[in-house]
Amino acid sequence: MMKTKNRLSGIRVGLILSLIAAVVNLIFLGSVYLRQKATKQLETDRLALEENFSELEKVNQDQLDALQADLDSIQAEVLELEASFPELGAPFDVFNRGLELAEASQLNLLSISSANSEIQETASGVLIFEEYDIELIGTLINCLTYIEKIEAAGLDSVVMQYAGILPEEGICSLEVKTMGYPSALQ
The reply to whether 42 and 104 lie within a common domain is no
Question: How far is CA 26 from its chain centroid?
Answer: 68
Q: Say yes or no: 27 and 2 in one domain.
A: yes
pLDDT at 120: 86
What pLDDT, on a 0 to 100 scale, did the predictor assign at position 55?
Answer: 92
Check whether 184 has a pLDDT greater than 70.
no
CA-nearest of 140, 129, 127 to 167 is 140
- In angstroms, the CA 21 to CA 12 distance is 14
* Strands 125-137 and 158-166, bridge-based pairing: unpaired
Instruction: Evaluate whether residue 176 is within a structural domain.
Output: yes
Rounded Cα distance, 23 and 27, in Å: 6
C-alpha dist (Å) from residue 59 to 68, 106, 159: 14, 68, 51
**Which of 84, 110, 141 is where one domain is finished?**
84
So what's the pLDDT on residue 7? 64
In a domain, 18, yes or no: yes
In the structure, what pLDDT confidence band is assigned to residue 93 with cuts at 50, 70 and 90?
A: confident
Contacts by residues 36-39 (CB-CB < 8 Å, ≥ 24 positions apart):
none
For residue 54, how far is the Cα from the chain centroid?
29
Hey, is 181 helix, strand or coil?
A: coil
Within 10 angstroms of residue 73's Cβ, the number of other Cβ atoms is: 10
CA distance 58 to 53: 9
| DSSP letters for 136-148 | EES-HHHHHHHHH
Given 58, 84, 110, the domain boundary residue is: 84
Whether residue 132 is predicted with pLDDT greater than 50 in this model: the reply is yes
**Amino acid letter for position 177:** K
Using a pLDDT cut of 90, give the percent of the chain over it: 27
Is residue 137 within 8 Å of residue 110, measured between CB atoms?
A: yes
User: Looking at the predicted structure, is the pLDDT value of residue 5 above 70?
Assistant: no
Q: Dihedral of CA 17/23/27/33: which sign?
A: positive
Based on the fold, state whether residues 99 and 181 are members of the same structural domain: yes
For 98-115, write each residue's pLDDT tens digit. Answer: 888 889 999 998 988 888
Q: CATH code at 112?
A: 3.30.70.60
Same domain, yes or no: 15 and 62: yes
The answer to whether residues 56 and 134 belong to one domain is: no
| Residue at which a domain ends, from 84, 115, 139 | 84
| CA angle centred on 119, ends 179 and 156, rounded to 5° | 10
Domain total for the chain?
A: 2
- Name the pTM for this structure: 0.49
H or E segment at 92?
none
pLDDT at 182 over 50: yes
Domain residue limits at 179: 94-185
Are 38 and 104 part of one and the same domain?
Answer: no
107 in the same domain as 64: no
pLDDT score at 78: 81
Q: Same domain for 80 and 109?
A: no
**Confidence label for 91 from pLDDT (cuts 50, 70 and 90):** low
The arithmetic mean of pLDDT across residues 136-157, rounded, is 84
Q: Are residues 76 and 122 in the same domain?
A: no
Pair 109, 137 in one domain: yes
